[in-house]
Structure 1
Amino acid sequence: MKSNKRYALILGLLSALFFALTFVLNRVMAVGGGHWIWSASLRYFWTTLLLLVLVLLSKKFRPVILAIKEKPGQWLLWSTIGFGFFYAPLTFASAFGPSWLIAGTWQITILAGIVVAPWLQQTQSIKPLPFQTILFSLIILLGVVLMQAGHARQVSVNNLILGFAPVLIAAFAYPIGNRKMMEVTNGKLDALQRTFGMTLASLPFWILLSILGIAFKKFPTAAQVSTTLWIAIFSGVIATVLFFKATDKVQKDQKALAAVEATQSTEVLFALAGELILLNDTIPDSYAISGGFLVLLGMILHSLKK
């Protein structure tokens, strides 16, 4: 079990690196004038095609389709929540704050995963989480608060809300969708199949969103088409499969599952580095730097606790 947890934590860290690229590239598109609707929907259209090729090559397509046919309503509901209500709000928020700030706010998902666990698995016997798990998660949350403190003094209340509220929605939607789909599939599909299935089942949401964009006469830019392809590769395929594989490894161990989700806190540091390199952003103030260290500390404590 310990080796499984260590392996899952490594996979979690790698997924965080690739997820962080999403925050940075979404910010690049927002700064370049690209509309958030296309930054979100194009990413999932590309992801569907990429994953389709992978599952066909690996001969894993049929089990996914059979699984969806068995429980279509649940696939549609939890995939829309886990992918649609997760990613659309994140891309919307990217227009109102730097990528490291969005990534920082996103770390609320660590506590969200802990909060929703009893509700999602109310039919199962769940042991209360140890004080350490809660404490280390709160350290990460404190780091997030510090990272945003300096930035909050530089923006309007309107921008602050528009940059925070959507990410809060996303932070709860992702663990809810992910954990409910783990229950629905019950180990019958691997990480690649589950990722493809959820992407496929979320397509109605992305199609409706695209129709809405066209109705408002908002169209994608050439840069968005190419950038979302890279995001689809980095985040939609690599990062998501790695993260699902990590959570699959420890799905029956609530403490280990919380620790794996805590690895996503390093997205803040990866996103900060990416924004400094790609957008020549200024170095954050002392609040943000101190917060970054707390985020990293919380993640390390999560991974080292027995």
Structure 2
Amino acid sequence: MFCLPAEAKLDIFKFLNYKQLCSIKQANFCLHDFVNYFQGELAWEKLYEISIQYLEQYKHPHKLIKLEGGPLDFTLNDEQLEEKIKNGLETPIPVYLPNQDSRKTLVICVTKVFRSPHHILVQLPPIIKSKEDLKIVYYYLNKLFNCWFDHGEINEFVFNQELLQLLFGNAPKRIYIQRCQVNIMEHTMENSLQFILNNLSSQTFHSSLRLYQDIITKYKDILFEILMKGGDNFKEVGLAFVNSSVNVVDFMNVAKLYEHIVDYMATSKDCSKIVDAIKLSFRSSKSLQLIEGAEKIEIKELDGGVEYTRTNLPIFIIQN
């Protein structure tokens, strides 16, 4: 094994599963470092579920891994990153966005197997203030980006784009979640969409977006880029637009987004990057004007006498 060139060893290791690679890493330091260096090209650890939430809200049995800044017995593999931080950080960097409640503790929640009664909670330093803090976050996020999750849910918090850029440079790391749900609110819109665009990969990705004034207009370009250029990272994307107020006047921009997608597909010479299946659905006030072709529409009166138009199925379904 030691006489083989690196390319030959890598080809052999690609046939091994994650547990076999872990055994190889325990053989000696050389193999340990070799597997770590090429871990992005080798078998990933398969886990069931991941989410980010407040520790205080977590009621299930769990094991808490609390990581504080302190000496670590490893060096960063990235020489450029080592150079950037050799004199310390100019300003502290938050790990998560948006800013969290300082009275609470954010944790990464991981479940190894389906219906497991026990969960692993990882508490990273919320704000990176030192080189040791950065090492801790780099180490665990790098492990996270080399895992495969069956299910994931993101309700508010995502990893800071500035931090990920510092840690991993211009080749963004992506977390793979087979079925992922992202619930987007007004104050999380920018952070969530940037994370989806740059750091998420999923077979089936669904998101609910509350419609506030000018939301679709403001974020139309990034939504369009996710749908039209995200085919390598998403097979199916479902966007559910929810009208939270009868005073929202730009809800018809959802229809315009749909029409923009159809026009692009009709005129583009290369559709290879478009997501295979796109579903746009929404709930809105009675005054919403549906475009021709909308199906299975029903009018429902909710509490307070406000009438809403709702579809049993997504109004727009686009197959690439």
| TM bin (shorter chain) | under 0.3
Give the greater-gyration-radius structure (CA). Answer: 2
Q: TM-score, normalised by structure 2?
A: 0.22
Q: Which structure: greater helix fraction?
A: 1
- Whose relative contact order is higher, 1 or 2, with alpha carbons under 8 Å and at least 6 apart? 1
Q: TM-score, normalised by structure 1?
A: 0.23
